[in-house]
């Protein structure tokens, strides 16, 4: 493979549980200003504000000449492409404009409703958007996702994107024991996002590393933090670099979301869970939605 500067092959560690199609990841920013307490990426990108990469657009233009045609490029897999600073910098918007000109397939994953601003560009490409929403409770979200837009704004973004014809799905990820795992709440969340226009749901359980488990626990009431730590450290299992809950617990925790998705007849998947019985989608990550509008136009 030719040497690339900013475009990266997704999942270079080759996790045995990863079900994503072959794709590339692209991050206009380093760091992530959303500062989500559960973030796994802090272990290798650090806890720092989103900062635009130096000469990013020039490097991107060079890289695009080196990758395969019709490749999927995802913005972004660890550093959100729509941090607060993007509203003025418009680095991600300019990135999308370059990607459109090179006719690649674009998958956008974000917690920000700012993505709606760029719908005019997104509609010019084979593209889909996945918006992460972990709870309907704006107060809870301010604790676990302190600098991300409130969930209520993200649901409105789902509605607006679908009104404009952009294929959109929702990541309900991660589901964390004792925090956002109430079955009734999860069913209500799934129902709301589907009614807003989500065409696909992907979900996963919280996978712990020592640093994100510690950060999350520091912000929780002591009794909940104690139960969470015990559940992972004493009963969890190391799988490919993460502490996982046991299989039955994970299946039970995610099932309410899958039940609602089945009832509404949309595609659904789980992320790095090994629970293929909770998976009916062509892709887990929402990249199959890239062709959603074309498919329905032809049929």
Residue 122 pLDDT: 97
Per-residue pLDDT reduced to its tens digit, 275-294: 999 999 999 999 999 987 55
* 164 touches 119 (CB < 8 A): yes
Residue 221 pLDDT: 93
Residue 2 pLDDT: 74
Cα–Cα nearest to 235, from 225, 246, 221, 219:
246
Residue 12 pLDDT: 59
Per-residue pLDDT reduced to its tens digit, 2-49: 799 999 999 756 788 999 999 999 999 999 999 999 998 876 677 899
Residue 161 pLDDT: 98
Residue 298 pLDDT: 38
Residue 293 pLDDT: 59
Token pair 């199609």 is found at 21
Q: Which residues contact 256 (CB under 8 A, 6 or more apart)?
A: 183, 184, 186, 187, 190
CATH of 7-298, one of 3.40.50.2300, 3.80.30.30, 3.40.1010.10, 3.40.190.10: 3.80.30.30
Cα–Cα nearest to 81, from 23, 34, 143, 140:
34
The two three-digit tokens of residue 207, written as one number: 């996978």
Runs of H (alpha helix) within 145-271: 151-163, 183-196, 210-218, 222-235, 247-264
pTM of the model: 0.94
Residue 275 pLDDT: 96
Segments making up each domain of the chain, as ranges:
7-298
* 280 touches 269 (CB < 8 A): yes
With residues binned 3-state (H G I as helix, E B as strand, rest as coil), the percentages for the chain, rounded to 5, are 45, 15, 40
User: In which residue ranges of the chain is pLDDT below 70?
Assistant: 1, 12-13, 43-44, 293-299
Measured CA to CA, the distance from residue 220 to residue 215 in angstroms comes to: 9
Question: What letter does residue 201 receive in the DSSP assignment?
Answer: E
Residue 1 pLDDT: 52
């Amino acid at each position: 493979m030719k040497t690339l500067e900013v475009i990266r092959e997704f999942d270079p560690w080759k996790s045995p549980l990863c079900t994503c199609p072959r794709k590339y990841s692209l991050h206009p920013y380093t760091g992530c200003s959303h500062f989500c307490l559960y973030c796994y990426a802090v272990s290798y990108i650090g806890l720092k504000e989103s900062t635009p990469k130096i000469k990013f657009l020039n490097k991107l233009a060079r890289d695009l000449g080196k990758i395969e045609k019709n490749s999927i490029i995802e913005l972004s897999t660890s550093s959100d492409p729509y941090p607060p600073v993007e509203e003025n910098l418009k680095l991600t918007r300019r990135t999308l404009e370059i990607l459109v000109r090179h006719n690649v397939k674009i998958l956008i994953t974000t917690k920000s409703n700012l993505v709606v601003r760029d719908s005019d560009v997104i509609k010019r490409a084979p593209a889909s958007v996945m918006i992460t929403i972990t709870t309907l409770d704006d107060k809870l979200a301010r604790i676990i996702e302190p600098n991300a837009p409130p969930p209520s704004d993200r649901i409105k973004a789902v509605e607006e994107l679908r009104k404009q014809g952009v294929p959109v799905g929702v990541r309900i990820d991660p589901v964390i024991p004792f925090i956002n795992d109430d079955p009734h709440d999860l069913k209500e969340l799934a129902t709301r996002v589907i009614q807003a226009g989500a065409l696909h749901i992907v979900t996963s359980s919280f996978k712990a590393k020592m640093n994100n488990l510690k950060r999350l626990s520091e912000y929780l009431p002591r009794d909940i933090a104690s139960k969470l730590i015990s559940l992972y450290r004493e009963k969890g299992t190391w799988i490919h670099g993460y502490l996982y809950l046991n299989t039955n617990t994970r299946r039970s925790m995610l099932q309410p979301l899958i039940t609602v998705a089945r009832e509404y007849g949309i595609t659904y998947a789980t992320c790095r869970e090994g629970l293929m019985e909770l998976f009916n989608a062509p892709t887990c990550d929402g990249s199959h939605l890239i062709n959603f509008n074309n498919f329905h136009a032809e049929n």
